[in-house]
Amino acid sequence: MSQERIMYVCEVCADNSPESCGHFDRREIRVTPDGRWLCDGCYEADAAADAPHWHTLAPAPEYAPR
């Protein structure tokens, strides 16, 4: 029996490092106020000084295998 899983992907990692992007835990990707999906490293590199902390942002929405 195969197990189907959903992989959540940081937009910056997908564009710049696709071979190492992707997370099976949706909580490792957060949705920014402008709607981008980012991992903590990419968010910290891009965030302004007054931006909300990464852990306070909503995680990516949950999806289920079909």
Q: What residue spans define the domains of the chain?
A: 11-59
pLDDT bin (cut points 50, 70, 90) of residue 2 is: low
Verdict on whether the full-model pTM lies above 0.75: yes
**What backbone torsions phi and psi does residue 21 show, to the nearest 5 degrees?**
-95, 165
pLDDT for res 23: 92
Quote the pLDDT of residue 1.
44
Phi then psi for 18, rounded to 5 degrees?
-60, -25
Across the range 50-55, mean pLDDT stands at: 90
User: Mean pLDDT over residues 52-63, rounded?
Assistant: 93
Find out whether 28 and 57 touch, Cβ atoms under 8 Å.
Answer: no
Alpha carbon distance 54, 32 (integer Å): 8
